[in-house]
Structure 1
Amino acid sequence: MTAFYLKLLITPALMLAISLAARRWGTAVGGLLSGLPITSALVMLFLSLEQGSAFALMAVPGALAGLAAIQATYLFYWWVTRHVSALPGCLAALVVYGAVAWLMSRLGVLTLSITVALLLVGLIIVFTSRQARTQAAACVPVPRWVIPMRMVTATLLLLAITASATWLGPVVSGLLAPIPVIAWPLAVFAHVQGGRGELTAIIRGNAIGAVGVVGFYLTLQHCIVQWGAVLSIAAAVVLAVVVTAMLARALARR
């Protein structure tokens, strides 16, 4: 019962903090923050506490497959919305997410998932580099109901995954862990209200953060059984933040 109340408290608080940061400092910062393994860390923490560290360990390959699918979705949406509006682009991108997630999970090769995810991250960074240099991201106003929607969606996702983990199994639970409940609505609303420049800032920031997410899951894979859930997840989050900050700083200097 304590874990249930922690989910209800921690998850919406984190979503609120990131959403307010994006509102205050712009979509570039929002993209970076939403790319960090916030939802993933919460899902993996509660999976470990409720199902055991071995279950969370088996969920890592699925999570990395899901991460590759997310980057494919962003890249596809960024490309297809050159030719179509946001709504059909969003629907088509969700189909791409489902197809890539299914394919990567069926293949079930950890190194392949990492390779594909990092390749897609590299493509996003390269394709968005020119626009990132020529247009600084602004603070895009969002409707008042958007932030509560993100908080509710993230909390419901966490509750759904952890409550059905035994039935879903570790692979599917891991696959659902990195679903971008913050970044995806942020990207779509930024696109609709601020145009492609704002969309580019979100997607680029999320891709940079994804490199840290890879480090997050690899740290869990090597440490969670030996160190336990809390310590290993805390270390993995710190590593993800450091890697993301270093990469963002290096790219900003170019």
Structure 2
Amino acid sequence: MTLFYLKLAITPLLMWAISLASRRWGGLLGGLLAGMPITSGLVMTFLSLEQGTDFALNAVPGALGGLAAVLATYAFYLYATRSLAIGAAAGLAIVFYGLVAYVLTHWGHLYVSIGVALGLIVLLIIASGREPKPETLARVRHRYWEIPLRMVSATALLMITTHLAAWLGPQTSGMLAPIPVIAWPLMVFAHVQNGRAGMAAMVRGNAIGAVGVLAFYLMLSGLMKALGVIPTIVLAMGTAVALTVVLAGLLRGR
């Protein structure tokens, strides 16, 4: 019961904080924060505590396939919105995510997922940097229901994924862990409110943050048996944040 209340408390608070940071400091920072292993870290933590360490470790290959699929979805959306409306592109991108995630987690290989993820990170950083950048972004009107809707959606996905984990199995549970339930609403809202420049900044931040997510899962796979659940997740999260900050700093002038 304690874990249930932790899920209800932590997830919406994180979504609220990231949404406010994105409003205050812009899409790139929002993308960086949303791209870090926040939702996926919570999912893996609760899977480990509720289903056991072996279950969580068996979910890592699926999570890496899901991460590559998430990045493929961003690329799809970035290019699809050049000719399609936002709603149509977002709907097709979600379908595309399901197809790619299924292929990578059921027919792919761990190293294939890692290679695809790294290739897509490079592609997204380059492609987002080539999007037009207006001199100023228009001041937008934020609706009162935006952040509560994001908080509810993020919490619902975490609750559903962890509650159904035993039935879904480790592979599918892992595949669902990286679903960008925080990043997707942020990206679409940024696109609607700030145009392609706002959306591209969010995509770029998510791509940079994905490097940390990749490191997070690899550290879980290599250290959880030796160190235990909580120490490994804390260390992996710290490493993910450090990598994201360093890479963002290196790419800041580009």
> Match of 1:194?
194
Using the TM superposition, name which of 165-174 and 223-232 deviates more: 223-232
Cα 1:146–1:50 shift into 2, 3 Å? same
SS of 2:131 mapped into structure 1: helix
CA distance in 2 between counterparts of 1:215 and 1:123 reads 19
> Match of 2:42?
42
Q: Letter of the 1:217 partner, please give it.
A: Y
Q: Is the 8 A contact 1:23 1:141 kept in 2?
A: no
SS of 1:144 mapped into structure 2: coil
Counterpart mapping for 1:67-82 below 5 A = 67-82=67-82
> Match of 1:130?
130
CA distance in 2 between counterparts of 1:141 and 1:16 reads 17
TM-superposed CA distance for 1:146, in Å, is: 1.4
Using the TM superposition, name which of 115-124 and 105-114 deviates more: 105-114
Q: Is the 8 A contact 2:137 2:194 kept in 1?
A: no
When normalised by structure 2's length, the TM-score is 0.96
> Match of 2:65?
65
Q: Is the 8 A contact 1:28 1:137 kept in 2?
A: no
Count of residue pairs brought into register by the alignment:
254
TM-superposed CA distance for 1:229, in Å, is: 1.1
> Match of 1:53?
53
TM-superposed CA distance for 1:135, in Å, is: 5.8
Q: Is the 8 A contact 1:45 1:229 kept in 2?
A: yes
Q: Is the 8 A contact 1:26 1:139 kept in 2?
A: no
CA distance in 2 between counterparts of 1:225 and 1:142 reads 45
SS of 2:237 mapped into structure 1: helix
TM-superposed CA distance for 1:208, in Å, is: 0.5
TM-superposed CA distance for 1:108, in Å, is: 4.0
CA distance in 2 between counterparts of 1:158 and 1:95 reads 20
Cα 1:108–1:227 shift into 2, 3 Å? farther
Question: Please, what is the CA RMSD of the aligned residues?
Answer: 1.6
Q: Runs ≥4 in structure 1, deviation > 6 angstroms?
A: 136-139
> Match of 2:30?
30
CA distance in 2 between counterparts of 1:19 and 1:9 reads 16
Cα 1:220–1:141 shift into 2, 3 Å? farther
> Match of 2:102?
102
Q: How far does the alpha carbon of each residue in 1:89-125 deviate from its partner, in whole angstroms, 9 at most, with x for none? A: 1111111111101110112411100100110111011
> Match of 1:15?
15
TM-superposed CA distance for 1:137, in Å, is: 6.8
Cα 1:171–1:26 shift into 2, 3 Å? same
Q: Is the 8 A contact 2:131 2:196 kept in 1?
A: no
Q: Is the 8 A contact 2:69 2:97 kept in 1?
A: yes
